[in-house]
Structure 1
């Protein structure tokens, strides 16, 4: 009988040990229990600090009350004693009351008139009628100075500060702290164990079952098997955890259906991918052909004029671009300078870029406008012209802007394509530049000292927007060493990975650095822009054109 009882007790102990071991293996259980235990300890610690302060004040108050009673008895017994006699009577207290170590006596003028025993470090002026406490330590012996008798309040001639020995205060406080800590630990352990025991049936076991079901579901999906019977479904929970279990079951059903649909779509998708790949290769081939063709529209090598340096920089944002520049010879020692930006991006902009470039070249080389088709209109009325500024050759060359504008607007107006365009005619003999700026970014004339001498602002609208638009001819002059700089909006609007623009301000700072040559200036600007953009996607073409007069 006794043996059976012993076996039963042993079995119970083993089950309890196994249960505790299982709970210890549960990370969630350990975390919750640790949080509960820590929270209780922290709360009790917060409450302990003010409780300790109150206990300390109570003990000090008891010491003060004892001293106050003794001092009051002396003052009542000897009301007319001199300060010397009063000090002697007070010194006798130290013999009968070891907690009193000394003191100081002050008259009504707050002047110290006598001391006995250890002199307090707290003076009457420091107390200032607020009865402040003062502690000092020496050889681990605690001292406590306090105003015991204030003459003004008690209507006597003397105020008395007593120094006390409060060495017994520390053991009392330590004992108090020990009692509080012991109580806190008992409460914390009780609440922690209670929470720990409740976690297993309420949270831990359902979560472990759900984890097992998730593993089985993952294996079933990975191996493409039929869904197994999930153990967590049998719990029939009506709380949030039950909702999670139901959501898991529903999710697995939807995943299974999605996998089935996916298999049906994979074959069709693979076929589509092959078609897309073939189409993409063909498209890339066509774009590359367009890129090579577009490169042929730009000057392969700029013909340098005697006494002049002409440099360019061009980097498209895509395989085909909407920006372009051109340098070509005209009659009577003049050179045409063009820099333009066709609106929009991609193939459409590239096609119109080639059209704009061709029209400008063709129309600027003609000198028989009076005989042209009336559909182009009377362009002479569309130009503001000061014959003192422009020669006849320059005037006829710049008419190409009006003719191009009308051709694009009348024949391709429904497409809505236009271009900002600068067309200048440079006389290489005297440095005069006669130009039209059709809505383009202002060009800079940079002096030999690196200052922006002049800005060639817009003299008309963008080219190709509406027919019969008027464009004004302006004229400027390049001195020896000066540089004409043109650029498209892709320069100031170049963005880095953070979306920050390069800005016109940075461009001006680079321009105002003294450049030795047109090529050197473009290298400085292009390097700075490319360093700014880094590996970020380029959104717009970057085009630069510079002309320097050397002699």
Structure 2
């Protein structure tokens, strides 16, 4: 036997664990066998002491058949103390009353004998052994409890324990060595070779080499380790197959990614062109009218938007103002935004579009400026017919797309401050008077493009000197902070109650508060603001 190999084998974690379990198992089995054997040996030795004492007591009681009194019996039994194995005793009458005692007092009591039937008792340290003999055995009307020396029993049990323990250790040692020697060809060598195969397989996979010749595949075993080896070979083949499949998939994916990148670049370019085109739809500069200030802000949530605003001068010198929000977002909304804007402009400033008259009953006056309040009111009404005409055009030609817009369209007379408007389902605009009093301009009809021949009621309001009109889309009130809370209309009203000196100043103040509130949160909807302020020094004409 190669002792060097044996020492090397002992250093393996698996070997040590198997050997340890074998050793512990043998010790446990021997211990289970030893415990009852130890108790049996102890009882045998104690029974031998009782038998010896029984013989001596029986002989003495035969010599005491002529004794009449208890005192004579006591003196006769005191002779037992002369035996080195008998250390003392007590004698009791049938009623349990003690007649006398000699030598050491036994721990076994008469009550334990009578009430519990205990006949023998070993002291805690194991050096004393008490035994009781009843009247039937003594052939005398008394009970005798003798204390006996059990020191020899304790020594004999210790020697017995050492002999058995030594034998157990020797057996365990040889069984363990045998198990350790058997581990090499049965378990350790195959495992080490399998480990080498695993390392070679890992290297082949890592470096993308051809599969090596595995040693484990050259042997056949019909046990659990053989099943592990078979599972390893199967797993390796599956991994190699998966890697080859992945390579093919990666090649296809790379090609798809190149196509997607090319498409994405083209799409991004198209969207960027669309953004520039849409920005071109918005007024590059707002009208300048004596005594009036117009200001606006627009920020899309995506590259293109469904929100829009427009401020333009009508042929009569009146000012048309539009703020609208087309449903949905993205390219579709942006296309309809351009359509809504164009229709409103055309229908409010031309007399005919592709044979469709603006109004048969209330034709728009010619391009001469209205001079009387009645003329101005009539012109406003005719221009606002653009909302009704736009609504019918969208419903008749694009109803299958279910596209609509919330829209506010107002016609302002710069000379008098008279504003005639239609609000088709749009967010209520605010009018803040010079005194700070606030008024909402609520809906006068449904969203534009939903219902054929819908009725849009026209309302009028006078913008006094110092008054401000603010329009917005729901991207303002629905803006969210990074914690998810809404900016809300109430917060907007609080800002409008603060002091501002101009329409541009109001827009900048709202922007600052809004973007401070949203912080780093992603913008979910388009944001549009439109403000109009009349100079406090203006005079109605």
TM-score range, shorter chain: 0.5 to 0.7
Q: Which residue pairs with 1:413 in the alignment?
A: 399
The answer on whether the counterparts of 1:409 and 1:464 sit within 8 Å (CA) in structure 2 is yes
Q: C-alpha separation between the residues in 2 aligned to 1:463 and 1:292?
A: 26
More moved, 289-298 vs 504-513: 504-513
Q: C-alpha separation between the residues in 2 aligned to 1:534 and 1:428?
A: 39
The answer on whether the counterparts of 2:359 and 2:385 sit within 8 Å (CA) in structure 1 is no
CA offset digits 1:314-351 (Å, max 9, x no partner):
01112211110000112444211100011122111111
Q: C-alpha separation between the residues in 2 aligned to 1:236 and 1:377?
A: 98
Q: How does 1:229-378 map to 2 (within 5 A)?
A: 229=214, 253-366=237-350, 373=356
* Matching residue within 404, 419, 431 for 1:445: 431
User: Bigger radius of gyration, 1 or 2?
Assistant: 2
Residues 391 and 367 from structure 1, CA distance in 2 versus in 1: closer, same or farther, beyond 3 angstroms?
A: farther
Q: C-alpha separation between the residues in 2 aligned to 1:321 and 1:254?
A: 52
Secondary structure, in 3 states, of the residue corresponding to 2:289?
Answer: coil
Residues 508 and 251 from structure 1, CA distance in 2 versus in 1: closer, same or farther, beyond 3 angstroms?
A: farther
Q: Which residue pairs with 2:41 in the alignment?
A: none
Q: Which residue pairs with 1:47 in the alignment?
A: none
Q: How does 1:342-491 map to 2 (within 5 A)?
A: 342-366=326-350, 373=356, 391-448=377-434, 450=436, 453-491=438-476
After TM superposition, give the deviation of residue 408 of structure 1 in Å. Answer: 0.9
Q: How does 1:32-43 map to 2 (within 5 A)?
A: none
More moved, 499-508 vs 291-300: 499-508
The answer on whether the counterparts of 1:459 and 1:472 sit within 8 Å (CA) in structure 2 is yes
Q: How does 1:81-230 map to 2 (within 5 A)?
A: 218-226=202-210, 229=214
* Matching residue within 508, 514, 523 for 1:529: 514
Q: C-alpha separation between the residues in 2 aligned to 1:455 and 1:490?
A: 18
TM score, norm. by length of structure 1:
0.55
CA offset digits 1:298-321 (Å, max 9, x no partner):
000112211111110001112211
The answer for unaligned runs of 5 or more in structure 2 is 18-182, 363-372, 537-541
After TM superposition, give the deviation of residue 429 of structure 1 in Å. Answer: 1.7
TM score, norm. by length of structure 2:
0.56
The answer for unaligned runs of 5 or more in structure 1 is 25-199, 381-386
After TM superposition, give the deviation of residue 533 of structure 1 in Å. Answer: 3.4
Q: C-alpha separation between the residues in 2 aligned to 1:214 and 1:500?
A: 56
After TM superposition, give the deviation of residue 543 of structure 1 in Å. Answer: 0.7
Residues 330 and 225 from structure 1, CA distance in 2 versus in 1: closer, same or farther, beyond 3 angstroms?
A: same
Q: C-alpha separation between the residues in 2 aligned to 1:335 and 1:460?
A: 22
Q: C-alpha separation between the residues in 2 aligned to 1:206 and 1:536?
A: 61
More moved, 474-483 vs 530-539: 530-539
CA offset digits 1:100-135 (Å, max 9, x no partner):
xxxxxxxxxxxxxxxxxxxxxxxxxxxxxxxxxxxx
More moved, 424-433 vs 268-277: 268-277
Q: C-alpha separation between the residues in 2 aligned to 1:324 and 1:465?
A: 19
Q: C-alpha separation between the residues in 2 aligned to 1:259 and 1:433?
A: 73
The answer on whether the counterparts of 1:445 and 1:454 sit within 8 Å (CA) in structure 2 is yes
Q: Does 1:513 align with 2:514?
A: no
Secondary structure, in 3 states, of the residue corresponding to 1:436?
Answer: strand
Q: How many residues align?
A: 358
Residues 234 and 533 from structure 1, CA distance in 2 versus in 1: closer, same or farther, beyond 3 angstroms?
A: farther
After TM superposition, give the deviation of residue 222 of structure 1 in Å. Answer: 2.3
